[in-house]
Amino acid sequence: MSEFEKLRDEIIACKKCSLYETRTLPVIGQGSHKAKIVFCGEAPGASEDKTGRPFCGAAGKILDELLESASIKREQVYICNILKCRPPSNRNPKTEEIEICTPYLEKQIEIIKPKVICTLGNYSTGFIMERYGLADKIQGISKIHGQVFETEQDFVIIPLYHPAVATYNRNMIEELKKDFQLLKKYV
Using the minimum distance from each CB to ligand URA, give the nearer residue, 48 or 97.
48
126 touches ligand URA by CB under 6 A: no
- C-alpha distance from residue 17 to each of 6, 8, 53, 84, 101 (Å): 19, 17, 20, 11, 8
44 touches ligand URA by CB under 6 A: yes
In the set 39, 55, 104, 186, which binds ligand URA (CB under 6 A)? 55
Q: What is the nearest approach in angstroms of ligand URA to the Cβ of residue 178?
A: 21
144 touches ligand URA by CB under 6 A: no
108 touches ligand URA by CB under 6 A: no
26 touches ligand URA by CB under 6 A: no
Q: What is the nearest approach in angstroms of ligand URA to the Cβ of residue 43?
A: 6
42 touches ligand URA by CB under 6 A: yes
Residues that bind ligand URA (CB under 6 A): 27, 41-45, 48, 54-55, 59, 81
